[in-house]
Structure 1
Amino acid sequence: MSFFQKIGNAIVRFMYGRNGMDQMNRALFWGYIAVFFGQVVFSALRLQTPALICEIVLWPLMVLILFRMFSKNLPKRRAENQKFVNWWWGVKSRNAGAKARHADKDHKYFTCKTCGTICRVPVGKGKIIITCPKCGAQIHAKT
C-alpha cells in the first residue's frame, strides 16, 4: 500500500460518522468564495472599509463551514440541510414559474391580494372581474 493510499484511508476513517459536504455546505462554500473575491477586488481598489467588512464576514463563514463539515450530530445537520434544500427549491421554482409566465404572450397573470394565488386570464378581453378560485375574492383588472 502506497503512502497516498494510507493517507486517503486515514482521512476516510476520520470522516466516518461525520457530516461532510452537503448541499448547504456547498452553498456556504460558494458564498465564501464570492465574499473572498469581493475582498480581493476591494483590496485591489484600495477600499479598506469594504475589504475589512469582507474579512470580518469570511472568518465566521469558514468556521460555520468547518463546524458543519466535521459535526457528528448527523440528525441536526440533516434537518438544517433539509430546511435549506426546501427553501432553495422554492426559490428555483418561483423563478422558473416567473420566467414561464413572462414568456406566455397569450395570457395575463394576476395575483390575488388576499391569498396570493396567481390567476391566469386570456389577453385582449378588456375590463373584467376575476374571481379567485382559491378564496373567492374578486379582482377588477384590464387584460
Structure 2
Amino acid sequence: MGIFQRMKNGLIRFMYGRNGMDQLNRALFWLYIGIFLAQTVFSMLRLQTLALICEILLWPLMVLIFFRMFSKNLYKRREENQKWVNWWWRFKSRSAGARERHADKDHKYFTCKNCKTICRVPVGKGKIIITCPKCGAKIEAKT
C-alpha cells in the first residue's frame, strides 16, 4: 500500500463520526470566498478600513466552518443544516413563484391578510369578494 493510500485511509478514519461538509457548510464556504474576494479588492484599492473589517469577519467564519466540519455532535449539526435547507428552499420557491405569478397575465393574485395564503382569481371579473380557502377570511378586491 502506497503512502497516498495510507494517508487517504487515515483521513477516512479521522473523519468517521464527524459532520463533514453539508449544505450549510458549503454556503458558509461560499460566503467566506466572497468576503475574501471583497477583502482583496479593498486592499488593492487601498481601502484599508474595509479590508480590515473583511479580515475580522473572515477569522470567525473560518473557525465556524472548521468547527461544524469536524464536530462529532451530528444531531445538532444536522438540525442546523435542516433549518438552513428549509429556509433556502422557502426563499428559492418564493422567488420562483413570484416570477411565475408576474408572468401570468390571465390571473390576479391576492394574499390573505390572516394566513398569508396566495389566492388566484381570473382577471376581468370586476369587484369581487374572495373567500380564502385556508382560513375562510373575506378579501374584497378588484380584478
> The TM-score by the shorter chain falls in which range?
over 0.9
**Residue type at the aligned position of 2:48:** Q
**Residue type at the aligned position of 1:115:** C
Pairs aligned (count) = 143
Structure 1 CA distance for aligned equivalents of residues 82 and 104 of structure 2:
33
**SS of 2:56 mapped into structure 1:** helix
TM-score (normalised: structure 1): 0.92
Structure 2 CA distance for aligned equivalents of residues 131 and 78 of structure 1:
40
Structure 1 CA distance for aligned equivalents of residues 47 and 138 of structure 2:
53
Structure 2 CA distance for aligned equivalents of residues 50 and 125 of structure 1:
55
Q: Which whole-Å deviations, capped at 9, do the CAs of 1:34-77 have from their partners, x for residues lacking one?
A: 11111111112222222111111111000000001111111111
**Counterpart in the other structure of 1:96:** 96
% identical equivalent positions: 78
TM-score (normalised: structure 2): 0.92
Structure 2 residue runs of 5 or longer lacking an equivalent are: none
**Counterpart in the other structure of 2:109:** 109
1:136 Cα offset (Å): 2.3
**Counterpart in the other structure of 2:123:** 123
1:104 Cα offset (Å): 1.1
**SS of 2:82 mapped into structure 1:** helix
**SS of 2:110 mapped into structure 1:** strand
Report matched runs for 1:19-34 at 5 Å: 19-34=19-34
Provide the alpha-carbon RMSD of the alignment: 1.3
**SS of 1:72 mapped into structure 2:** coil
